[in-house]
Amino acid sequence: MHAPYRPYPGRNGGVDFYPLIRVSAGKKRAGRTRPFEALVDSGASDCIFHEMVAAAIDIKLESGSREQRAGVGGTQDVWVHPIQLFVADQILEIEAAFAKELPIAGVLGRSGFFEHFRITFDPVSDPPGLDIERVHKI
């Protein structure tokens, strides 16, 4: 799958491009969210989503395993739940963290996302983009 970087409004009327892709989150027997954009972030240890994504699939946030995650903005509590992550035609069973404060809908990190794909970032092409290829480990 090839996905062009998605443009966001930038500083001083400019445009910033980010490796955002469409995903859905789901839970067995509880349906799935509509497609939403999440950031492909190799610096993130795992996949983190906004708490409203949890609510959309009937996950009671604080019933999950409570952990903490450290980011540029500091440390915050997260609650970890098993979910299904839908990426194009792939369905992944992952452990996802949910946070009450997140500036975007979701972040796709190493555990739960990068471990399943070979990902090539190409920020220098026009348009910039990323290629995502599923890797099935034996």
Residue 42 or 63 having the CB closest to another protein: 42
For position 26 contacting another protein by CB under 8 A, the verdict is: no
Residue 37 binding another protein, by CB under 8 A:
yes
Using the rule CB under 8 A, is 34 a contact of another protein? Answer: yes
Using CB under 8 A as the binding rule, whether residue 124 contacts another protein is answered as no
The rounded distance, in Å, linking the Cα atoms of 67 and 75 is 10
Give the C-alpha separation, 40 to 24, whole Å: 14
Name 42's Cβ contacts closer than 8 Å, sequence gap at least 6. 109, 110, 114, 119
* Shortest distance in whole angstroms from residue 9 CB to another protein: 4
The single-letter DSSP state of residue 51 is H
Which amino acid does the sequence have at 94?
I
Query: Cβ closer to another protein: 49 or 117?
Result: 49
Figure out which of the listed residues 50, 79, 96, 113 binds another protein, where binding follows CB under 8 A.
Answer: 50
Helix then strand then coil, in percent of the chain rounded to 5, is 10, 55, 35
Residues that bind another protein (CB under 8 A): 4, 6-11, 15-16, 18, 22, 33-37, 39, 41, 43-44, 50, 52-53, 55-56, 71-73, 102-105, 107, 127
